[in-house]
Amino acid sequence: MVADVGYVWGSPFRADAQDWATAALVAGTFGALLPLDRHVDRWVVAHPRSALIRVTGPFRENGGPFVRLATARRLVPISAALILAGAVSDRRPLREAGYGCLSTWAFSSSLRYAVYAVVARQRPSFAEGDPYRFAVPGGKWEHNAFFAGHATNAFGCAAFWSERFDLGVGEAALYTTAGLIAAARMSDRRHWASDTFVGVVVGIAGGRVIAGRWDRREVVRRRRAAALSGAAPYRPVVILWRGSF
C-alpha cells in the first residue's frame, strides 16, 4: 500500500507529453469553470427543494445517514473489514478491494492536505458568493475548498473497484453513489463546482493507477504459480557456453 501511494506521488516524474497535455486540459477546464462557480452556487441557494438537491439528501450534513461515507471515519473501517474478511475467508479479491480503497484514500488525503497547506480557497458558505477568494499559504477548515475531498475519496475507491474487478451493473451503482456524494458537498456549499471537478479527476486517476499496479501484480503472481506447478506458459531461457583448452 505504501509503495502504491508513493508510486502515484511519483507520477509527475514519469509523465510523458500526453500526460502533461492531459494535465493541461484539466487545468484549463478548472479555469473555465471558475466563472460558473458563482452561478452554480446561487442556483443551489435559490432552489433548496429542487429534485437535484433533494436526491443528495442521504449524503448531506443535515441528518443524512451516509454523510460520512467518503471520509476516513467510514472508508478506513470499511477497508479494514474487507481486508479482515478476505484474510479469514482466504479470498484474495476481498483483501485487494480493501487495500486498494485504503491506498486511494491515503493518496487523496496526503495530496489534499499538502495542497491545503499551500493554497487557501474559501468555501462557498463563507465566501459570500465570491469564488475567487484564493490566498497563499493555506488556512483553516473554512479555507479548504480546493479541492473536494469527499469527491476525491469516493471516486478513487469507485475507480479502483471498477477497474480491478468485473462488477457489471455494480460499476454504475458505485459511480452514481460517488456522484451523489460529490453533489451533496456542493448542496451543503462546502465546495465550488470547479473544486468538485478537480476532486473527481484526481480520484479517478489515482484509483485507476493503483488498480493497474494490482493488475500487474496479478500477472506476475499467476506466472509464478504456473511455473511452480510445471505448467508455465513460456519456456525458460537457458544460456550455455563452452571453452576449448
Tell me if residue 134 falls in helix, strand or coil: strand
**What percent of the chain is modeled with pLDDT above 70?**
95
What's residue 204's pLDDT? Answer: 97
pLDDT for residue 227: 84
Does position 96 have pLDDT exceeding 90, yes or no?
yes
pLDDT of residue 101: 96
* Residues in CB range of 90: below 8 A, 6 or more apart: none
Sign of the Cα torsion 56, 57, 61, 64 reads: negative
Question: Is the pLDDT assigned to residue 123 strictly greater than 70?
Answer: yes
Whole domain around residue 107: which residue ranges? 2-6+29-226
pLDDT at 226: 85
What integer pLDDT is reported at residue 67 of this predicted model? 94
Query: What CATH number does the domain containing 80 carry?
Result: 1.20.144
Q: What percent of the chain has pLDDT over 90?
A: 88
- Choice between 241 and 171, residue whose per-residue pLDDT is larger: 171
Residue 209 included in any domain:
yes
The amino acid sitting at 106 is: A
For residues 213 and 202, what is the distance between their CA atoms, to the nearest angstrom?
17
pTM: 0.90
Q: pLDDT of 146-174, one tens digit each?
A: 999 999 999 999 999 999 999 999 999 99
* DSSP notation for 11-49: HHHH--HHHHHHHHHHHHHHHHHHHHHHHHHHHHHH-TT
Q: For the chain, give the mean pLDDT.
A: 93
Say if residue 238's pLDDT is above 70. no
The reply to whether 134 falls in a domain is yes
**Could you read off the pLDDT of 14-55 as tens digits, one per residue?**
999 999 999 999 999 999 999 999 999 999 999 999 999 999
pLDDT for res 13: 93
Domain-located, residue 82: yes
Domain-located, residue 236: no
| pLDDT grade for 99, boundaries at 50, 70 and 90 | very high
Using CB atoms within 10 A of its CB, is residue 59 exposed (0-12), middle (13-18) or buried (19+)? Answer: buried
- The reported pLDDT for the residue numbered 155 is 98
Establish if 20 belongs to a structural domain: no
User: Which three three-digit cell numbers place residue 242?
Assistant: 563452452
Query: What number is the average pLDDT over the span 94-112?
Result: 96
On whether residue 239 sits in a domain, the answer given is no
Asked whether residue 244 is assigned to any structural domain, the reply reads no
- Residue 231 within a domain: no
* Number of other CB atoms surrounding residue 30 within 10 Å: 17
- Give me the number of domains the chain comprises: 1
**Comparison of pLDDT for 31 and 238, the residue scoring more:** 31
Query: Which of 221, 96, 216, 205 lies closest to 161 in space, CA to CA?
Result: 96
